[in-house]
Structure 1
Amino acid sequence: MTGDLNSALPVALYKTTAFLASAKQMQAMDTATGQVTATIKPQGTPVDPGEFNTDPATPPLLVTTQGTATVLTSFVVKQAATGTQASHTVVEVHATNADTGKVMWRLTLRPPQWDGSSLDMRAAVVGADGDSAVIRVSTNDGYHAAAYGLDLNSPRQVWSTDKVRVDAVADGAVVGAVFSDDLGTVQRPAGFDVATGKRLWLGERSYDVKTSVAGQQLIRVQGADYDSEENYDRLVESRTNRVRQTVLTDIDDAECTYDGQSTLVCHGTSGASGLDASNGEVLWQLPDEQADRIAPEVTTAWHGRVYGTANNSPIALDARTGKDMPNPRTTPLLVNESVGIALDDSGLVAYPTIS
């Protein structure tokens, strides 16, 4: 895998299997043995992401379709010319049975040509809700992006929209930024219905809009107002844009991680905090001088636990209270009920989860 730790690992966990994605293939690995049990490759020729594209792969997405655990992943490929039909750069979406590693179906999406820049593309499975999933296709320079809505039962493409970069799905809505100019520098945060692609709301003109999942119904929206140039950082309802909370501003360079259950954990260079993922209410904050507690460096949060390091040792916190829990053996970057994925001098290492 290529990339760095400034973005999510291109890995999805299902039971004791890790699905590792790259620009050219996805591998299913048994985390107990390290054995590769399946390799999924696109039918077209994978497009070289380029030497300066340090993060071409994005995490696969685990969903349930027709009662089957399914892994969705996407590849940017070159579709060969046939007869009088010219070759094209397209996106292949693959659905793989998570238990067997067998490909269930494939879909091909044909993005806009974008003035010849389509050879410099990346694709990502943004999220899913019910029987619908959303794929993002964008150029590496950030000037162009489009979104595609899929019906996972058919399977088929249901809708598409150009000049929008989507990043987060919650409560039947996908949220991102609509481009207001040709270069994508002037943007508006916006929400769309996952199943139909209908626009649900449109925010103010902005710069540098970023969106991420903050709860089952909440999205974190960051940006800078185009007119006043003032930064904003808030939690909004995904379907209405109703502001529920302003993210804590006393945490420098705050990143927020949803634990997939009930808590949003925000962390940065000056501290960490836990927010209720249903309404944005602050539950706890660290450091706490009165209790003589320091703030950890958070690596991930999952189902009620926060993982990270403090005093050069792995730590775990209760996500709802911020209280210390028994220390884990290592500091995972990704975790589920069966396995934790960590980084050491030898690379990525899998550890069994101990309850």
Structure 2
Amino acid sequence: MGGTLNSPLPIALYKTTAFIATASRMRVVDTLSGKVAATTSPHNAPDSDSEWASPGQASAPLLATSAGARIVIAPFVVKLTGTGTQASHVAVEVTATSADTRRVLWRVMLRPPEWNSAGALQATVVGADHGVAVIRVSTSDDDYSAAYGIDLNRPRQLWSVDKFEACAVTSEIVAGALLDGDEQRPAGFDLATGKRLWQGSVGTGVGVGSVGPGLLHVRGEDPDNAAPYHRLVDARTGRTLHTLPDDLGDSDTDCTYDGLSVLVCSYGMGGSRVAYGLDAADGKVLWHLPDKRADRIAPKVTTAWHGRVYGETAEGVIALDARTGKDLPSPGAAPLLVNESTGIGLGDSGLTAYPTSS
């Protein structure tokens, strides 16, 4: 795959089906056999000439619900050819595919702001809640970004917010970073209307992630002293509920919510790796590696899901109990993406799927 496919994988898992996105199409793959069951392509010509474009140009599709049915949302950056006095321009075509029948159900077109000529565009599905999905459209250097709300039940654009890097959706809120030159502010917007509900203080490297219903993990750096911060924030008000440990790393620290009750954060390289398990409700440290007294090292965490942490060390692949940090029997693989049926990782020959058990 040209070395361009890295975590996070541009894949959505639904039961034993993988929806794999590229810049120009989405393949529907049966993970039991590896066979391509269907392919979804944009109606208009993709803006990228290469299926596997630069990293980031293809984001993971999103599983959502529309009119009571499970759908898979995938956005594509496309070229619209001008006619007459209408100039050609780049747009984003959002497709919805039935997760069960694998047929395209509808398409919605988004028109990026005028800054779309500033560089190559990438489109990302941020999340969905209460029948509204959020699409982020940004330049490849992340200097420009806009967010769009789409009604999933009556497919149409509901609102747009420019100069906003949408990052997380939870409890009818979309949160992310407001962009003003070099300055960034964490902010939250109402999912139904696009109205701003709150904004935080100026920072750099601001990032936001969902930590279950109504809770956000906000990270960044203080511009005055470059000190990193990690906070658990109320999604509706932006109020800081808990401040996470000072030594959790900088704003690039990778944190993953396990979908139940634990936020797993890790950073570093080689023998200097650090991993934390934090209670998602109150931010308290549940476990921390390395632990010199117990002669335990920190793994390279690949993902966490439903009470289990997956990763790798020099000794091989590992699994940890998400709440205690204790070693579990080796799973035999370190998936980058996992659900109740399948784990997907990168092998020597490309994507590899493994059966999972609860």
The TM-score range, normalised by the shorter chain, is over 0.9
Change (3 A) 1:226 1:268: closer
Instruction: Return the offset for 1:66.
Output: 2.2
Q: Are the counterparts in 2 of residues 3 and 57 from structure 1 also a CA contact under 8 Å?
A: no
> How is 1:129-208 mapped onto 2 (pairs within 5 angstroms)?
129-181=129-181, 185-208=182-205
Partner of 1:351: 354
In the other structure, the counterpart of 1:235 is: 232
1:308 maps onto 2:307 in alignment: no
TM-score, normalised with respect to structure 2: 0.92
Structure 2 counterparts to residues 199-278 of structure 1, below 5 A: 199-252=196-249, 254-269=253-268, 270-278=273-281
Inter-partner Cα distance in structure 2 for 1:63 and 1:194: 15
The answer to whether the 8 A contact 2:215-2:235 is kept is yes
The runs of 5 or more residues in structure 1 that have no matched partner are none
Tell me whether 69-78 or 261-270 shows the greater mean CA deviation. Answer: 261-270
Aligned residues between the structures? 351
Compared CA separation, residues 139 and 41, structure 1 to 2 (3 A)? same
Alpha-carbon distance, 1:244 to partner = 2.4
Q: In the superposition, relative to structure 1, how do residues 144 and 201 fare at CA in structure 2: closer, same or farther (>3 Å)?
A: same
Q: Does 1:280 align with 2:287?
A: no
Match of 1:330 in 2: 333
> Percent of aligned pairs with the same residue?
55
Q: Give the 3-state SS of the residue equivalent to 1:332 in structure 2.
A: coil
Instruction: Please tell me the residue identity of whatever aligns with 1:322.
Output: G
Detail structure 1 runs of 4+ shifted over 6 Å in the superposition: 49-52
Distance across 2 between alignment mates of 1:34 and 1:6: 19
Identify if the C-alpha distance between structure 1 residues 352 and 22 changes in structure 2 by more than 3 Å, giving closer, same or farther.
Answer: same
| TM-score, length basis structure 1 | 0.93
Match of 2:46 in 1: 46
Letter matched to residue 225 of structure 1: D
Paired letter, 1:321: T
How many Å separate the matches in 1 of 2:241 and 2:326? 25
Listed as ranges, the matches of 1:28-47 within 5 Å are 28-47=28-47
CA RMSD, 1 decimal: 2.0
1:8 aligns with 2:11: no
Question: Structure 2 stretches of 5 or more lacking a match?
Answer: none
Q: CA deviation at 1:147?
A: 0.6
Deviates more, 1:227-236 or 1:65-74: 227-236
